[in-house]
Chains A and B, each alone.
Chain A
C-alpha cells in the first residue's frame, strides 16, 4: 500500500484517535505514524481529547449487586495464582450464575435418569427430550462412574411443602447433579437459583426452571470443589439470577 501523504494523515489522525476510521484506513495511518514524530505528537493531543471525552459521561450509580458479585467471585477459598492463569481460563462474558448449568448430553440424560429413579421421579419427560446429542459431558460421565459418588437429600422448608430433591456428587469434583420434584413451575420472569454455602459465604451454582410437572434435573458446576461447601439451598430469584438470595429458602441440605 502506498504511503499516505503527510497532510492527508494529519487530517485523519483526529478520527483515528476516536476510532472513527474505516478498517482499511487504519493500517496506512499507523504505517505513517511509525515514521513521523510530528504526527505522533499530533496524535497525543487528540488522544487527550479522547480521554477527556471518556471522563465526561455523567456518573451513574452502579447496582449494589455488582460489588457483591465481584466480592463473591474474588473471595472464595483456594483462589487463583495469577502468574499461572492462561487467557483461555478467563470466564465468559455472562454473569457466572447464568452460565453455571451445563448443557446436557446423552450422559446427562443417563445420569439424570439414575437420579430420578433413585428418588422416584417420573423421568419420561426427560427421556423424551434428551436425545442422543453429539459429544458427552465429561464431568457428568466422571460423576456417573466415580466409585466414591455420594448423594444427599434436599428437604423442603415450609415455603415449599411437598418438594424434595437429591444431589449427587463426587468428592473433589465441581460437577454435580441435582434432581428435584414438587416445585411449582415459575413464570418467565423468575427462576430457581441454587446456592452453595461455605461457612456463611454463598455462591451461586446455577439457575433452572421445572417442567410442567414441577420436576427438574440440572447439572451444577460449582465454583469450587463441591467438598468446599457445607450446605446447598434453592430460592426463587429473577430470571437473570441474583448475586444473593432475595427470597426464603425452599429446599436445603447439608453436604458431608
Chain B
C-alpha cells in the first residue's frame, strides 16, 4: 500500500479523468499502476499479458471514468477489483485454449513463487503473513478460488476432493481471515487513514 500522497485525492482525479483530463489519468497511473500491474501479473503469471491487461485497465478508466461510484469502493479498490476480474477472464480463456493442460502442481508452484514474501525486491503484505497462518489446505483453496478464478467445484475436481470438503476449507479459511482482520487493524481503519 503506498503512503497517503499529497496533491489531489484519487476521487478528484477520477472526476477530472471523466472530464477528459489526461494529466489526471497519468497521475492515477503513477499512483496505482504498479499495483495494477502486480495484480495482473500475479493472476496471469505472464509479463506480456500483465502489461496488456494494465494498458486495458487504464484505457478503460480513461473511457469510462464516469461510471465510477465512490459509494461502492475507493478508487484504488475499484481499479484492483476490475483488474482482478479482467485478469481472471483472460486466465479462463487461456485455460479453455492453449493452457488447458496446466497441472495443478504447476499452478501451485507458481503461486508459491508469487507468495515469496522474503524476496527483498517485493513488498510483503500483511495478508500474506495472515495467509501463512492458515492451514495449507485452506490457503490453497482460497488462492485457487480468488487468484486463479476457479469455482469451488472446479477446485474439488482438480484436487480430487469432495465438493463439500473444498467448500469447508474456503469457508473456514475466510472466517479465520475475517477474524484476524477484526482483531487487527481493519480495512475500514486503513481506508479512513488514507
User: Interface residues, chain A, CB within 8 Å of chain B?
Assistant: 11, 14-15, 17-23, 45-46, 48-63, 65-67, 69-71, 73-75, 79-83, 85, 89-91, 93-95, 240
CA distance A56 to B119 in the complex (A): 14
B162 at the interface (CB under 8 A from A): no
Do B171 and A15 have beta carbons less than 8 Å apart? yes
Q: Given contact pairs A48-B178, A74-B62, A79-B22, enumerate 8 new A-B contacts (beta carbons under 8 Å).
A: A15-B170, A51-B77, A58-B117, A66-B29, A69-B55, A74-B26, A82-B19, A90-B63
How many A-B pairs with Cβ below 8 Å? Answer: 170
**Residues in chain A near residue B187, CB distance under 8 A:** 48, 51-52
Residue of A nearest to B176 (CB): A49
A-B contacts, 5 listed (Cβ < 8 Å)? A11-B167, A11-B171, A18-B145, A46-B178, A51-B77
CA distance A58 to B131 in the complex (A): 14
The tally of residues in B whose CB lies under 8 Å from a CB in A reads 71
Given A49-B181, A69-B55, A93-B56: A74 and B22 interface contact (C-beta under 8 Å): yes
CA distance A202 to B28 in the complex (A): 23
Do A70 and B55 have beta carbons less than 8 Å apart? yes
The 5 closest A-B pairs by CB, nearest first: A56-B125, A56-B127, A58-B122, A62-B37, A74-B22
Given A51-B77, A59-B123: A66 and B186 interface contact (C-beta under 8 Å): no
Most buried by A among B29, B55, B122: B55
CA distance A46 to B83 in the complex (A): 19
B59 at the interface (CB under 8 A from A): yes
Given A15-B145, A82-B18: A70 and B125 interface contact (C-beta under 8 Å): no
Do A57 and B42 have beta carbons less than 8 Å apart? yes
CA distance A240 to B125 in the complex (A): 33
B5-13, B100-108, B150-158 - interface stretch: B150-158
